[in-house]
Amino acid sequence: MSRKRIGIMISGRGSNMAALIVACREGRLDAEVALVLSDVADAEGLERAENLDVPARAIVPKKYRTKLDGDDARAYAEAFREAGVEFICLAGFMRIVKAPLLEAFPGRILNIHPSLLPSFPGLEAQRQAWEHGVKFSGCTVHFVDASLDGGPIIAQRIVPVLDDDTAETLAERILTEEHELYAEAVGKVLSGRYRVMGRRVVRT
Ligand code: GRF
């Protein structure tokens, strides 16, 4: 079977993107990152992708600031299709993905979020968790639907919140786990050995 082609969407530094590229290179993922797209023209991750010899470019949306829809979403779908992409990983992409990109890749768009969803969706999840005083937080990889961080959960990892943590130290420890969890979860989805039953993603 040929290696699956993955597309990645970023807005910022791209450390999860880099972790996925490295996982492919090291053979931990039977896949290849075919294209990285950013909605931010000078995103740090674009340079990082280029340094890793992965095609990367910005497509800056013309319309909204907080979502990607209409013609803007269509431009992403077309670019990924041209690159032969089958699965898309959002990695710090800061807009809510809507039609027609969602419809172009049904059940084939994944996201990583730095909390144990459904707790603390949205921005600054690590700070939200720290301020709330939870004793455990973590990270979640989930399928993307039209909601905010709300699709069916593929995998999660727990990170304890320590008494002397700041929001920043907690975020750092969560990020380390994110890098491993994302590759693991993508592997699970690429294997095809799962079924989505309502909100539950179960192994088959
Ligand atoms: C990560 O914490 C990810 O969970 C969230 O945005 C952050 C992106 O970081 N969605 P990076 O760009 O992958 O370094």
Which residue's CA is minimally distant from atom 5 of ligand 1?
92
Tell me the pLDDT tens digit for each residue of 5-31.
999 999 999 999 999 999 999 999 999
Whether the CB of 178 sits within 6 Å of ligand 1: yes
The pLDDT of residue 1 is: 58
Classified as helix, coil or strand, 11 is coil
- Would you identify the CATH topology of the domain 1-106? Rossmann fold (3.40.50)
Ligand 1 centroid to Cα of residue 71, in Å, is 25
pTM of the model: 0.97
Place of tokens 């993508």: 186
Tell me the pLDDT tens digit for each residue of 113-157.
999 999 999 999 999 999 999 999 999 999 999 889 999 999 999
112-204 matches 1-106 in CATH topology: yes
Classify domain 112-204 by CATH number. 3.40.50.170
Amino acid making up residue 202: V
Q: Which residues contact 141 (CB under 8 A, 6 or more apart)?
A: 110, 111, 112, 113, 153, 154, 155, 156, 181, 182, 185, 186
Whether the CB of 112 sits within 6 Å of ligand 1: yes
CA gyration radius for the chain?
A: 16
- In angstroms, rounded to a whole number, what is the distance separating the alpha carbons of residues 187 and 65? 31
Q: Pick from 10, 15, 124 the residue to mutate for probing ligand 1's pocket: most ligand atoms within 8 Å of its CB.
A: 15
Ligand 1 centroid to Cα of residue 95, in Å, is 13
Domain boundaries, the chain: 1-106, 112-204
Residue 58: other Cβ atoms inside 10 A = 15
Catalytic machinery residues: 113
Residue 114 Cα: closest atom of ligand 1: 4
CA atoms within a 13 Å half-sphere pointing along the CA-CB vector of 94: 16
